[in-house]
Amino acid sequence: MKPENSLIASIKGSKNSIDLIDKLGEAAIDSLIDSGVLRDIPIIGTAISIYKAGNEISAHIFAKKIACFLSEVEKTSTQERLDFFASLPEAEGEDSVGETLILILEKLDSYTLAKMLGKAFRLLAEGKLSKQTYEIYVHAIKQLNPYLISQIKQLYAHESISAIDSLAAVALSNSGIVKIAILSTIDKNTQEIITSPQKTAFGRSFYENIVQ
């Protein structure tokens, strides 16, 4: 089975991925062959193939990112997941969705971001996000790192706070999470226009749906 097909099969039928995350912290990848996990999460077979090819670190990272992603997807019912794939337009088949997800997951550099991607996909499957908003969410997720995540939390967790680091504001503005407002005053020392980061409706929804 191709990786994209096994990922879709895993999304449709996965359960108890939290247990898999625990197992990955305690045992080697090859021990999962006899654990029954391949029945519910066949994409782990791809990780085992990577392991057998001699790259244990890559196999472990890939498997754990998949497990983190699925742990969020599983929060929607199996039937909702099946209905979502059944409703895909003909031009956008399961193979395409699976291939895109694998490419994204491979490039994400933390397990936290894999869980965020899982949250976004779950909301899409539940019909709570449009395809366009989902794709914007995914773009935003790919730009994040622990520092930027902490800045989003600092800005949106408290209504009274509207200040974040200037470098973070610039980075987050590219994803629409923050808007940089230009103030009328000019810094007398630098002669630069003073700007102020402001919250946005998209940033608020992204924080509440994905980051929080």
The domain boundary, picked from 115, 142, 169, lies at 142
Q: Does residue 126 share a domain with residue 28?
A: yes
For the segment 144-193, what is each residue's pLDDT rounded down to a tens digit?
999 999 999 999 998 877 778 988 999 999 999 999 887 666 656 666 66
Q: Does residue 117 share a domain with residue 164?
A: no
Direct distance between the N- and C-terminal alpha carbons of the chain, in angstroms, rounded to an integer: 36
Domain that holds residue 131: 3-142
Q: Does residue 160 share a domain with residue 81?
A: no
For the segment 89-133, what is each residue's pLDDT rounded down to a tens digit?
887 889 999 999 999 999 999 999 999 999 999 999 999 999 999
Residue 204, beta-bridge partner list: none
Q: Does residue 158 share a domain with residue 113?
A: no
Identify the H or E element spanning 183. Answer: strand 178-186
Encoded tokens for 35:
């654990």
d(CA 177, CA 3): 33
Q: Does residue 137 share a domain with residue 38?
A: yes
pTM (2 d.p.)? 0.86
The domain boundary, picked from 142, 169, 190, lies at 142
